């Protein structure tokens, strides 16, 4: 299968227009796609990391109703943010969001910056999240390269893609039409999430005619560089941590109750060790009497 460079050989302008048009006609109507508020976009992106749309959508509305701005989030105790994060998992993201909100208030007068370096300097904001805020809030022509986009573009070009590929296509889309970079990024993400899935539905793909893997008859190895599989959740320390945070959302937990709450009634040592990691991560506090609470 010949790998394709990101040049006019793959007609990138036509590609971006086609995918953007397909997204405009068939893309899902999701609430974070109706806003250009950087805070709302940031909240949605952190919620959507390793969590499905169906779980995120109702929590997104509830979270923004309670914390509509970085200032309201920063003014609340971290425990309130963790409490509002219920049902989403990966609770450290809630703590990171709270720390980010405080930094935005302290360093940017309560307004989320729309500059890549400034975004990257915020707690909990990595390269993907920073570019997502720029692309989806400020409509900046940068490429958003999550696992879904990576899969779609790798198959299209017949090789593992780079950030330069994503940025290049976003720049082409921006030049092709007003708002083109926003529509292209949303479309590429939607394409990977709904059509170019691990088991692709190539017959439904608006870019099939430009796809190197499709042209090969899906011969050879899938060009998508599959992410490393996460370790088993059932019985893991992560599961015990999650159980304790869920219990703390309902109220304080006595130290003696930790093993039962965390699912290891016969292993006090493990419960104490894993519970201590929540304190280190800012997800829990423990008082002198040994009572555990949200921060």
Catalytic residues: 45
Q: In whole angstroms, what is the distance from residue 126 CA to residue 106 CA?
A: 19
Axis-axis angle for helices 127-136, 38-48 (nearest 10): 140
Exposure string for 168-195, b = 16+ CB within 10 A, e = fewer: bbbbbbbebeeebbbbbbbbbbbbbbeb
Angle between helices 237-250 and 268-280 (to 10 degrees): 70
Backbone angle region of 179, left / alpha / beta, with phi > 0 → left and psi within -120 to 50 → alpha = left
**Continuous segment of H or E residues that includes residue 291:** strand 291-293
Helix, strand, or coil (residue 293): strand
């Amino acid at each position: 299968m010949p790998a394709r460079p990101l040049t006019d050989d793959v007609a990138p302008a036509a590609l971006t227009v086609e995918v953007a048009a397909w997204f405009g006609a068939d893309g899902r109507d999701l609430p974070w796609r109706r806003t250009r508020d950087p805070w709302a976009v940031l909240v949605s992106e952190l919620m959507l990391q390793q969590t499905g749309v169906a779980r995120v959508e109702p929590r997104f509305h509830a979270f923004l109703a309670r914390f509509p701005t970085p200032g309201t989030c920063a003014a609340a105790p971290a425990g309130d943010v963790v409490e509002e994060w219920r049902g989403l998992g990966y609770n450290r993201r809630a703590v990171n969001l709270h720390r980010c909100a405080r930094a935005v208030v302290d360093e940017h007068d309560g307004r989320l910056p729309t500059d890549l370096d400034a975004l990257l300097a915020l707690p909990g904001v990595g390269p993907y999240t920073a570019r997502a805020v720029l692309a989806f809030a400020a409509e900046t022509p940068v490429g958003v390269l999550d696992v879904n986009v990576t899969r779609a573009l790798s198959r299209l070009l017949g090789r593992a893609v780079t950030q330069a590929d994503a940025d290049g296509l976003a720049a082409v889309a921006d030049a092709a039409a007003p708002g083109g970079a926003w529509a292209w990024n949303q479309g590429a993400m939607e394409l990977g999430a709904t059509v170019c899935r691990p088991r692709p539905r190539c017959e439904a793909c608006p870019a099939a005619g430009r796809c190197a893997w499709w042209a090969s008859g899906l011969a050879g190895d899938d060009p998508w560089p599959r992410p490393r599989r996460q370790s088993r959740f059932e019985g893991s320390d992560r599961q015990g941590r999650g159980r304790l945070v869920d219990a703390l959302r309902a109220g304080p937990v006595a130290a003696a109750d930790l093993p039962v709450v965390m699912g290891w009634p016969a292993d006090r040592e493990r419960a104490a060790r894993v519970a201590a990691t929540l304190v280190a991560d800012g997800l829990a506090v423990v008082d002198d009497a040994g009572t555990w609470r949200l921060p």
